[in-house]
Structure formats: C-alpha cells, structure tokens
Copies of this chain bind each other. A is one copy, B any other.
C-alpha cells in the first residue's frame, strides 16, 4: 500500500508532466523577434497570440483565414489560441478597440501596402527554403538610375555560390517580380529566393543563375485607369527593357541573350511578366506567371482576350512556341484565380501554345509562390 506521501508525489509528478507537456508542445514562431515567446505554435499548428492592452475593451487577431477574439487575462494581457493555421507565410495584425496595428513580438514584412507583422508556419516535410549546410550565394542590394522615374531605384541581385571565384563564367538571369502592395523585398524576406536557389543549385536541380528582384511599382501613365492594359504596362516595360536589363548586363557577368533570360512574377508581377514577356520574346526566352489575376476574376467579365494584350498570341502560336523555351503558369489550388487560370491553360493549348502548368495547395499566398519559383527555376536554362 502506498503511503499518502507517495500518492501526493505521484499526483504532483503527473500534474507537472501535464504542465510540461503543454508548454513543450508550443514554441515561438520562427518569425518572432529574438526573445519573444509569442506568437507560439503547437504541433498542430495552432497559434497562440498575446498582446498587453490593459485598458482595451475589445482585441482581435486578424489572420488571412479569419479574425479571432482575444480574451483578457491577468495584468491586462489578451490571448487567444487559434485553430490550426495553414503552413507558409501569413500577414497578420491586431485590432485593438478598432485600431489595426502590429505585434511587437514579430518581425515586420512589407506587403499588402504596409510594413507589419508576419508569421511563418513551418510545413511538415518541407525544407526547400530552409538554410541548409550547402554553399550559399550572395544577395546584393544595389541602386541603379531609372530614366523612367528620373531617380535612383533599388533592386536585389542573387549571385550563386562561386560567382566571385569563377571569373570566366557567365550566367543566365531570372528576372523575378513581386505582387501588388509589395515591393522588391517580398521575394527576399517572404519568398526566401536566395535559400531556394542555394538548395536547388546544391542539389543540381537548377543551373547556377543570377536572380534580379526589382521594384515593379511604377507611376501609372496619366489617364490610364487601374487594372491591366497595354498602355498601363508601358512604364514597367520601359523600366525593365531600357534600364534594368541593360544595367544588369553591364554590371554582372551575364549571358546576354534571350535563351538565357527568364521573366517571372507573382500576381501583379505575373501579369507584368505575361504581357511584357510575351511582347519581348527577343529579350526573354522563358516566361512564368504565378497566380495572376490577369486572365479574369473580379474586374473582368467574359473570357480573357489574349490577343488584346499580346497581338498575335492567338493567331501565331507557333511563333511563340519557336521563340520560347519555357512558358509556364501556376496557381494556388484554393486561390479564386485557379478556375480561370485552368480555363486559359486549356484555351491557350487549343490555340496551339506549348505551355507548362502546375498548381500547389494554398490560396493567394507565399507558400504557393515559393513552390512556383522552385518549380520554375528547375525548368529554365536547360
């Protein structure tokens, strides 16, 4: 027979193990600032968010998947544990008595036209954008002069491992464009382009290449309404063809020919890549459009009129097939754009176009774009 002391100890050990179990299952998110315990994620990807707001009467956390009311606890700290969050990167904010604001616990990311909180949710079994024990390239932050805006503008250039040593080698170049409400930091901080390329190159799944990540936000020409149009695309087209590509060819050891240049982008950048890329197949030999709304959606009714955006696209498919090495579309499987993207893939193929299409689990979000980049980068420059 156990003594009361042993029983008490057994209960104590049991209670401690519960407490420990609950704690050890939940860890700070990888996107937290150093030392910050919240937001935390448990093994089911449930997020616990916390914010101190002693005098507030109503606090929510706003995630892409929904808004969650937080409960006030001791010392004015509000907290909520959400249902499981989809793997990948998500913007979020707090709403404190109606004010949309950002979390002191998280690093900040520029997107959705603000520089605010983001949370990284690891995807089980997915490590292609992790920092691994492989040779690492370099990411250069660089100013160049724009004749379009008459000002210095900023871009990033990823150079692969060995670029500074193999001085006789010249490299192909992928030009990679961000989405609306983002800037050139998107493919770096959210997209993890450098880590994706490091890993692909180490595994010999992609050839060593430069990746140029420029700011695709340019002033709209006067009188041109919001939305995709040939006229609206002129400033971006000029910036890319007359400023960015020449700057890169002059300052980096590139293979300066169409077969060794690709243009791709996500969402708005996908529309830019489609319109400007297909109009300039003498400059770009491969084109990728990830999750673009160009082909339909909210602002357009009726089927996508490819000929209006790319003269000759419907009538001279063979010309494009001859010029293009890779013509690639992708979309998230839960993105509202998936339906009309699949429709144009079918239409384009009916017109005689050779194109690759892939889809990935997820909505209009970075996890889809990371996977699109990984997929596209393996296909080009072969």
Contact = CB atoms under 8 A, between A and B. Distances in A.
Contacts of A171: none
A131 interface: yes
A23 interface: no
Contact of A53 (B96, B138, B252): B96
18 contacts: A33-B113, A34-B183, A51-B99, A52-B100, A53-B98, A55-B57, A56-B96, A94-B99, A100-B104, A101-B101, A102-B102, A102-B103, A107-B115, A136-B152, A138-B140, A138-B141, A139-B141, A139-B142
Interface size class of A (residues with CB under 8 A): 35 or more
Given A108-B102, A131-B152, A97 B56 contact: yes
A159 to B, nearest CB: 8
Contacts of A311: none
A190 to B, nearest CB: 14
How many subunits of this chain does the assembly comprise? 2
B164 A251 contact: yes
Interface of A: 33-35, 51-59, 76, 93-94, 96-104, 106-108, 110, 113-116, 131, 136, 138-143, 152, 164, 167, 183, 194, 217, 251-252
Contacts of A104: 93, 100-102, 114, 116
Contacts of A57: 55, 57, 97
Contacts of A59: 99
Contacts of A217: 34
Given A131-B152, A138-B140, A139-B140, 4 more contacts: A55-B58, A56-B97, A93-B104, A164-B251
Contacts of A54: 97-99
A217 B33 CA distance: 13
Given A33-B113, A167-B167, A98 B56 contact: yes
Contacts of A142: 136, 138-139
Nearest to A98: B54
Contacts of A136: 142-143, 152
B115 A33 contact: yes
A119 B182 CA distance: 20
Contacts of A101: 51, 94, 96, 99, 101-104
A192 to B, nearest CB: 12
Contact of A141 (B35, B56, B194): B194
A200 B106 CA distance: 36
